[in-house]
């Protein structure tokens, strides 16, 4: 009798344990050792943009193991010599919404100086054939580990969501053309247009365990502009017989500063940076032309149009004032292939996810952070008119002691892309898995 009642109790206990939904935190904790091993493997074997051959194969294998239908070698670049290494993993679970979850996977031509035991020692040839070191200096390796952890967690939580998850491992984020290559290859025509798009990025000044997010614009439109300033060259001793493009370039560069300071509404952030200027060969020769390269950052589409038009107008206007004949007017070229649109976090969706994260992580672990004038091609997934609600959130990656020290001493912490930057892996991956899994569950819950 006693044995019988004990066994009934055991059955009840087992049923009640089974009915309890497994916590996302618990799943993340259990997966961490394996995700950490994946992270270290990828960290020590980084690959440059559009060369993510081994990284993408590893991700494909992991997504398959998590139960996704996987398509590899996805993506078509405008440059036909580049191979698409995109990986799309589809996890179906009945009818319901489609949610896109994105990780990036490329590394940078940086020589690692973190001193970590799993630091990269890899060198490779870049697309120009030059030997370069390679490092995951932007933390995309941590994104990959958290992305795989999210796929594993959601596979285990299938009783709690319905619909289709589109896991997208995107190549070439650093060169700004990877998302476009996937869309060009038919991401949305082949796999369906998602109802929501979610992405994450580690943040080099956010403490581990925290999620940071910005409502509205979070990254800028990025335009790359070339200007060829043409003059009429000659001997350095006889400037009166020339039209000097070097002096003219100096005038143009100074006048460009008035776009931000005098022409633009100060409430609309913009940046116009001349990052490169080349002209001339020798002390005593006035050259025929000077070449300049600019990066132009804006948020709103109409502001972007006005700033680009102002650059063209100022360059040509300065040339006219300098007496350069019309046939030698400056040539401004917008590198359309390199354009990266602004990332806009849908305000309603952001508010919804902030509420979810505050509930699961605690109010103190969710921060509203400032937008930046950096660029991120995650924006492509919400399409040009932001018609697909999207959120790209930040995951904390830095030891809180280091942040406190940096505030005290004024010594800046290594930024993303620094040879000394590396996230603290365990808590960064953990918060990535929890933050992304919670977000997907909220949008797909039964
Ligand atoms: Zn980066
Ligand atoms: Zn990055």
Give the tens place of pLDDT for each residue, 221-245: 999 999 999 999 999 999 999 999 9
Q: How far is the CA of 69 from the centre of ligand 2 (A)?
A: 26
Question: Distances from the Cα of 66 to the Cαs of 92, 156, 167, 442, in angstroms?
Answer: 12, 9, 11, 20
* Structure confidence at residue 2 (pLDDT): 46
378: its two tokens? 């995650």
pLDDT > 70 in the chain, percent = 95
pLDDT > 90 in the chain, percent = 93
Q: How far is the CA of 397 from the centre of ligand 2 (A)?
A: 13
Q: How far is the CA of 75 from the centre of ligand 1 (A)?
A: 20
Structure-token match 């990284």, residue found: 55
For residue 375, the Cα-to-chain-centroid distance in whole angstroms is 7
* Structure confidence at residue 21 (pLDDT): 63
Q: How far is the CA of 219 from the centre of ligand 1 (A)?
A: 12
* Structure confidence at residue 79 (pLDDT): 92
Q: How far is the CA of 52 from the centre of ligand 2 (A)?
A: 15
Q: What is the 3-state secondary structure (H, E, C) of 363-407?
A: HHHEEECCCCCCCCHHHHHHCCCCCCCEEEEEEEEECHHHHHHHH
Say if CB 107 and CB 173 are below 8 A apart: no
262: its two tokens? 């005098």
Nearest to 256 by CA among 341, 316, 334: 316
Q: How far apart are CA 84 and CA 72, in angstroms?
A: 9
The pTM is what?
0.90
Residue 11, pLDDT above cutoff 60: no
Q: How far apart are CA 206 and CA 10, in angstroms?
A: 46
Nearest to 302 by CA among 342, 258, 346, 345: 342
Residue 6, pLDDT above cutoff 70: no
158: its two tokens? 């299938």
Q: How far apart are CA 314 and CA 238, in angstroms?
A: 27
Q: How far apart are CA 118 and CA 113, in angstroms?
A: 11
Using N-to-C axis directions, what is the helix angle for 425-444 and 347-361, rounded to 10°?
A: 120
* Structure confidence at residue 9 (pLDDT): 52
Determine the average pLDDT of the residues in 288-313: 98
Residue 337: pLDDT band with limits 50, 70, 90: confident
Residue 383: pLDDT band with limits 50, 70, 90: confident
The residues facing 439 across adjacent strands are: none
Q: What is the pLDDT of residues 177-210, one digit of tens each?
A: 999 999 999 999 999 999 999 999 999 999 999 9
Please tell me the number of the ligand nearest to residue 110's CA. 1
Determine the average pLDDT of the residues in 299-308: 97
Residue 22: pLDDT band with limits 50, 70, 90: confident
* Structure confidence at residue 1 (pLDDT): 45
Q: How far is the CA of 193 from the centre of ligand 1 (A)?
A: 26
* Structure confidence at residue 5 (pLDDT): 53
Determine the average pLDDT of the residues in 142-151: 98
- Burial of 118 from C-beta contacts in 10 A (0-12 / 13-18 / 19+): middle
Say if CB 65 and CB 89 are below 8 A apart: no
Report the Cα–Cα distance between both ends of the chain, in Å, rounded.
Answer: 42
201: its two tokens? 């990025």
**What does pLDDT average to over the chain?**
95
Please tell me the number of the ligand nearest to residue 140's CA. 2
For residue 284, the Cα-to-chain-centroid distance in whole angstroms is 45
Q: How far apart are CA 304 and CA 342, in angstroms?
A: 10
**Residues whose CB is less than 8 angstroms from the CB of residue 372 and which lie 6 or more positions away in sequence, other chains included:** 218, 219, 220
3-state secondary structure of 329: coil
Q: What is the dihedral of CA 278, 284, 288, 289, to 10 degrees?
A: 20
Say if CB 254 and CB 311 are below 8 A apart: no
Number of other residues whose CB lies within 10 A of the CB of residue 117: 7
Q: How far is the CA of 93 from the centre of ligand 1 (A)?
A: 33
Residue 7, pLDDT above cutoff 60: no
Q: How far is the CA of 374 from the centre of ligand 1 (A)?
A: 9
Q: How far is the CA of 140 from the centre of ligand 2 (A)?
A: 6
Half-sphere exposure of 191 (CA within 13 A, CB side): 29
Nearest to 306 by CA among 377, 230, 223, 371: 223
The residues facing 212 across adjacent strands are: 367, 394
Q: How far is the CA of 320 from the centre of ligand 1 (A)?
A: 40
Say if CB 198 and CB 390 are below 8 A apart: yes
Residue 385: pLDDT band with limits 50, 70, 90: confident
Q: For 166, phi and psi rounded to 5 degrees?
A: -105, 100
Checking phi first, is residue 251 left (phi over 0); if not, alpha (psi -120 to 50) or beta?
Answer: alpha
Q: What is the pLDDT of residues 412-445, one digit of tens each?
A: 999 999 999 999 999 999 999 999 999 999 999 9
Q: How far is the CA of 203 from the centre of ligand 2 (A)?
A: 9
* Structure confidence at residue 333 (pLDDT): 98
Please tell me the number of the ligand nearest to residue 415's CA. 1
Residue 4, pLDDT above cutoff 80: no
* Structure confidence at residue 384 (pLDDT): 82
Q: How far is the CA of 131 from the centre of ligand 2 (A)?
A: 22
Say if CB 75 and CB 185 are below 8 A apart: yes
Q: For 255, phi and psi rounded to 5 degrees?
A: -65, -30
Residue 84: pLDDT band with limits 50, 70, 90: very high
């Amino acid at each position: 009798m006693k044995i019988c009642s004990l066994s009934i109790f055991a059955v009840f206990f087992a049923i009640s344990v089974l009915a309890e939904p497994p916590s996302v935190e618990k799943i993340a904790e259990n997966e961490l050792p394996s995700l950490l091993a994946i992270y270290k493997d990828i960290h020590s074997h980084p690959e440059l943009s559009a060369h993510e051959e081994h990284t993408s194969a590893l991700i494909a294998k992991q997504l398959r193991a998590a139960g996704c239908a996987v398509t590899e070698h996805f993506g078509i670049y405008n440059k036909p010599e580049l191979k698409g290494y995109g990986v799309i993993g589809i996890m179906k679970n009945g009818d319901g919404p489609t949610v896109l979850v994105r990780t990036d996977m490329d590394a940078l031509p940086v020589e690692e100086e973190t001193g970590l035991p799993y630091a990269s020692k890899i060198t490779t040839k870049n697309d120009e054939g030059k030997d370069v070191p390679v490092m995951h200096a932007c933390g995309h390796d941590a994104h990959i580990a958290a992305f795989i952890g999210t796929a594993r967690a959601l596979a285990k939580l299938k009783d709690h969501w319905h619909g289709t998850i589109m896991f997208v491992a995107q190549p070439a984020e650093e060169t700004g053309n990877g998302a476009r290559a996937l869309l060009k290859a038919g991401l949305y025509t082949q796999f369906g247009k998602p109802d929501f798009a979610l992405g994450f990025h580690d943040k080099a000044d956010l403490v581990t365990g925290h999620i940071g997010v910005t409502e509205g614009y979070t990254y800028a439109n990025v335009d790359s502009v070339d200007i060829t300033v043409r003059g009429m060259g000659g001997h350095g001793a006889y400037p009166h017989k020339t039209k000097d493009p070097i002096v003219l370039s100096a005038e143009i560069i100074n006048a460009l500063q008035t776009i931000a300071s005098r022409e633009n509404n100060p409430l609309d952030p913009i940046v116009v940076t001349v990052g490169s200027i080349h002209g001339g060969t020798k002390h005593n020769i006035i050259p025929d032309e000077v070449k300049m390269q600019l990066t132009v950052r804006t948020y709103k589409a109409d502001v972007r149009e006005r700033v680009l038009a102002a650059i063209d107008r100022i360059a040509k206007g300065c040339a006219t004032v300098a007496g350069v004949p019309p046939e030698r007017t400056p040539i401004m070229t917008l590198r359309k292939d390199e354009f990266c649109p602004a990332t806009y976090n849908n305000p309603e969706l952001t508010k919804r996810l902030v509420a979810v994260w505050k509930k699961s992580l605690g109010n103190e672990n969710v921060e509203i952070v400032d937008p930046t004038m950096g660029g991120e091609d995650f924006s492509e997934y919400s399409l040009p008119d932001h018609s697909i609600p999207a959120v790209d959130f930040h995951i904390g990656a830095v030891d809180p002691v280091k942040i406190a020290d940096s505030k005290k001493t004024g010594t800046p912490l290594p930024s993303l892309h620094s040879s000394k930057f590396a996230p603290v892996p365990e808590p960064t991956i953990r918060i990535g898995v929890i933050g992304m899994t919670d977000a997907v569950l909220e949008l797909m819950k039964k």
